Every structure is written in C-alpha cells, then in structure tokens.
Amino acid sequence: MALRAPKRLLREFLCKRCISIPAGGGVRRCSSLPQPPPKIPHFSRKGRLLTGATIGLVIAGGAYVSTVDEATVCGWLFNATKLVNPFFALLDAEVAHTLAVSAASRGWVPREKRHDPSILGLEVWGRKFSNPVGLAAGFDKNAEAVEGLLGLGFGFVEVGSVTPVPQDGNPKPRIFRLREEGAIINRCGFNSEGIVAVAKRLGAQHGKRKLDETSSTSPASSNDIKHGGKAGPGILGVNLGKNKTSEDAAADYVQGVHTLSQYADYLVINVSSPNTPGLRMLQGRKQLKDLVKKIQAARDEMQWGEEGPPPLLVKIAPDLSKEDLEDIAAVALTLRLDGLIISNTTISRPDPVRGNPVAEESGGLSGKPLFNLSTDILREMYILTRGKIPLIGCGGISSGEDAYKKVRAGATLVQLYTGFAYGGPALIPQIKAELAKCLERDGFKSILEAVGADHR
C-alpha cells in the first residue's frame, strides 16, 4: 500500500474546525480558539515623557493642596467666583438673580472657613454677631438659600419681604441694571411665595439646627463665644410686607408675626418699598404708631422662652423730609422700637444716574448712587434718636470704607444688596478685611467703639 503524504495524513488526523493546513503550506488557526493578544502600540519616548510629566504634576498638585492650610484654600475658592461674574452679567437681571439664589440654595457657593477678625465681633439685642456685615432683604425673598448665604460669611441674612398670601408682584421686566453707575432699579412689588411656604422652609431649617445641637458630641466650653442664631452660624432676620390688594395692613403684618417670628432672630416691618401703592403712607406719625403698637402686642402675646421675643425693627425710606424723620424718631423712642433700617431704595434719581436712559424706568434705585442720600438720613436719625436705638445702615455699600462711613455715621450693623449682586461672594471677605483695617487705622479696639464716631 502506498504511503500517504505527511501533509495529507496530518490533515486527516487534526480537527478540521481547529487547525487546517492549507495546500500552500502554513497553519490557519480556527476562529473558535483563543486568539493571540493584540499588539500593544509602541509609544514614542516623547509620549512617555509627556504622560509621566502629567501624572507627576497631578500627584504633586494634590500633595501640595493637601499641605495648604484651610484658610488659603478658602481664599482661592472665593477669588475663583470672580470668574463667574462676567457670565451672570450677560444674563437678564432677574434670570441672573434666580440662578444666584438657586446656586446658594444647593450649596454651589464657597463656604467661609476663616474666622472673622475679632475687632468685628459685637452683641446686639442679646445676639452675638461675628461681624456686622449682613445681606439685605430682597435677595432671598422666600428663604430658599439661608444656609448657603450665611455660609458665605455674612454676619446676618435678612429674608423677605414675605407677604401673607402668595403674589406674583409687578409684570416683567422689573429689574434694570445701570452697570456703569453700580446701580439697579427694581419695581418687583413684593413678589412672594407667601408666609406658609416660607414658614415650612424655616421650620425645617430650625429643626435641623436643633437636631445638630442636641447630637453634638463636643459641647462648647463655657468660655467660648457662641455666634449665630436660629438658622445657623449667623443671625436671621425676617422682613414682613403686606399684600398689594390688602385693605388692612396691620392684619397682614400681625399674621406674619404669628407665623414667622418663632424662626426669626429679629423681625422687620417694611413700610418703605416704593413699589406697593400706599405703603409709604404708613410712615406717617399716627399711622406708624398705631401699626407698631398692634404688631408689638401680637408679638408679645405669644409664648416665649428665656431668650424672649425677637426684636422688632422698622425699615424706612430715604425720601423723607426732616419732619417725617422727627415723627419716626419720636415713635421709635416712645414705643421703644428695637431698631431702624436706613434705608430702602429711593424714587429719586441723583447724579450720575440722572443722565442714564434706564433712569427713566419707574421703581426704586439702589446701589452706589444711593450711598450719600441714605447715609445722610442715617446720620440725621442717629442724632434724632440720640444713639439710643440700634440702626442698620443700608444703601450703596460696595467696600469696607463705605461700611466704615456708615458705622461712623451711626450704624451698628450694615447691609449689602446691589454691591453683592455686582461683586459676588468675593466681596464679602474683602469688605470685612477692609473694615477691620479702617477700625485699626483710627485706633478703635472694637466695632462698637466706632458707632456714631462722627458725632463725638
């Protein structure tokens, strides 16, 4: 029998599915068998160096950041917010405002970890403030972002104005920028979700605060100064307004007191917005006296613990005559009002705003052009009340020097709004640092020593 060729014998012996030997020679591997690993591409020496350098920089950067103190990192984060300001400037004013409140409510803002200069600490109404710089009402109207805003380093935050019944406010557009003048005109008209919605938010926040206090495993030393109030690390004010269609203003404010005062470190009666018809008429001597007496009675009839009821303040307009101011001062002293906020927005158009076409829009003007007018009213009211009532200076503050001028004119505390809208979070530590330097420069040991210094 003839011998078969070796190739042929091998083909018959091997599984046809696995390995076959083509007639032309060589071996063809079956696709069902494991395939050899793919060839790894060869990186050039330049590519390997670049990759190694990138990894090294990441590791080195992470190691550096881990060794940097918390205060430095905090400063970086606040300064980084300056990069976002141009983006907000491109948006419609009210859209930008809504986004800013939303960001703060979600914690998408830096949190101040640095201690305030001790020279800025003070006590007012039995409440301890770590610094006198606050956020005015109008920014967080519905108490959506209290925790985030206090976390920015404000000494206090004022929410509202809150109306008893929800209302949309005036038609849009209703907020107008005058960027070159550092000013804003608004005619929002107390747009509010109402006291029920605000009470739910503040109640939840208050409960969380109490839970954190009771669950704390490291009780503070009796020698420690505890700053803060019912909402967290800072003091919370609630600004009350009346509904546009309401015929009984006192009833609206009393309803706000009954519902919201338990969550507030202080309450504000807003009778000075120019965007609610007839509201400013409540600043008259008789009208204001009757209103304050009813609101004080409503507050005092409620049950309070050892800390007592929240202080009651009135926010007044800058567009008042000397006689108007004398009447308000007399009411404040007679009824022992706890404080005055000076001032709200103005319906006037002082220089250099007068030449801007946007100045023709109706509404209240805030920002830098309001500074002199509101400070003059503040100075006059300090004299009329003989320094016996704490005053909050508000209007046109955009620097530590501005805040210092308000303090010397008679303000115990100060508030921002428009300056914050333009400057963003980075403005807050800047103002506090500048204010501390102003106090030290003039030889004051504390902020309280400087209050009303221009009158001595």
Catalytic residue set: 273
Report whether 288 contacts 327 (CB < 8 A).
Answer: yes
Report whether 370 contacts 351 (CB < 8 A).
Answer: no
Distances (CA, A) of 226 to 155, 216, 217, 220, 394: 13, 14, 16, 8, 26
CA pair distance 353, 173, nearest whole angstrom: 19
Half-sphere exposure of residue 382: CA atoms within 13 angstroms, side-chain side:
26
Distances (CA, A) of 452 to 91, 139, 407, 433: 40, 28, 6, 20
Report whether 125 contacts 390 (CB < 8 A).
Answer: yes
* Burial group, residue 258, by CB count within 10 angstroms (0-12, 13-18, 19+): middle
CA pair distance 101, 268, nearest whole angstrom: 21
CA pair distance 313, 336, nearest whole angstrom: 10
Angle between helix 427-441 and helix 400-409 axes, rounded to 10 deg: 50
CA pair distance 432, 438, nearest whole angstrom: 10
